[in-house]
Amino acid sequence: MTRFSFSLQSTDGRARAGEITTTHGVIPTPIFMPVGTYGSVKAVGPDDLLALGAKIILGNTFHLHERPTEALVEQLGGLHEMIRWPGAILTDSGGFQVFSLAKLAKINDEGVAFQSPIDGSPRYFSPEIVMEIQRRLGSDICMVFDQCPPGQADREAVKKAMERTTAWARRCRDVQMKPHQAVFGIVQGQIHEDLRLAHLEEIVALDFDGYALGGLSVGEPIEDMVRILRAVTHQMPATKPRYLMGVGTPLDLLHGIENGIDMFDCVMPTRNARNGQLFTSDGVLVIRNAKHKDSPEPIDPDCPCSTCRAGFSRAYLRHLFVAGELLYFRLASVHNLHFYLDLVTHARAAILDGSFDAFAAAFRARYRQRKEPEATS
């Protein structure tokens, strides 16, 4: 069985190009992971994802535990087999969801008691339980259970969350996982540089297979996120993958890549597609706007995705969106996911040939051209 590994192939400034090897394939980095919270990337199938060049997707431990349950997933042969996905899978620990979605969560150093957001029944997560759920799901990369403090938490609350996350990470590390499963540690510390660096030192000392920055893109100003990336990312181990959790816009991905991040995930491509926002080389296009009502143009003339390549017009997509036709969600989601995956693919190529700064500057200059306001007419 293939063991998890990471190799660094090239750098350009702080930007990195590498490869992650898993049992379910080799993943070129930097990489974007489409989010399949319940074991499904919304509105698209595994065949769409393969055609898009996706190598790894993300599932959520919290939601999969709620339904269909890890017992059923295991009974059906594991998450890969159940969803018919041949590529790699990363499972989030569910820590963010426990603290943001669960009802009446009560936390102590042992774990978290909460009520199911589905039916209100009692639930309990501990580091050991979370890792056991992920072991049964069979994902390739498993995240430790962490406490993600709310964006408005004061410094003392952030420090307490860091201490608890370190203690929980140690317990997660001691759980026996399947031979093919890697485990990533999570660094907290909010927007405090000194706390981030201190927590990074604690988590790195536990010697995980990779390291993630959690607790960003939770409402803080973009300038603070970039400041933390600049201060912390290059201090993360160079020989392990670096993952920025839950981020973000195309420009956020560029900020991460130029500071040395290797892995990203975000619901934005599919969620924004469903809400009528389509990513283009010139910025965000709002398909509901009246200006697109009779436009024969594709979403983005420069985009080679199957939606644009087939010639589906903005007028037709607007019609589907306004009519609530389900086909819209697939066509729009395929386009937005392609935009994100194409961005990291071109960024990787630029790193390999030493032209990343020029690539990033050109992308930013063009992407900011379109400032299309929301409209409902």
Answer for the pair 288, 324: CB distance below 8 angstroms, yes or no: no
3-state secondary structure of 313: coil
The rounded distance, in Å, linking the Cα atoms of 307 and 44 is 12
Rounded alpha-carbon distances, angstroms, from residue 110 to 2, 129, 131, 171:
34, 11, 14, 10
The rounded distance, in Å, linking the Cα atoms of 241 and 239 is 7
| Bridging pattern class, strands 122-125 and 15-22 | unpaired
Nearest to 310, CA basis, from 327, 325, 291, 323:
327
229: Cα separation from own chain's centroid: 16
Tokens matching residue 154? 């004061």
CA dihedral (285, 289, 291, 294) positive or negative: positive
Active site residues: 92, 265
Nearest to 18, CA basis, from 259, 253, 184, 263:
263
Rounded alpha-carbon distances, angstroms, from residue 354 to 16, 200, 240, 347, 351:
11, 29, 22, 10, 5
The rounded distance, in Å, linking the Cα atoms of 293 and 313 is 10
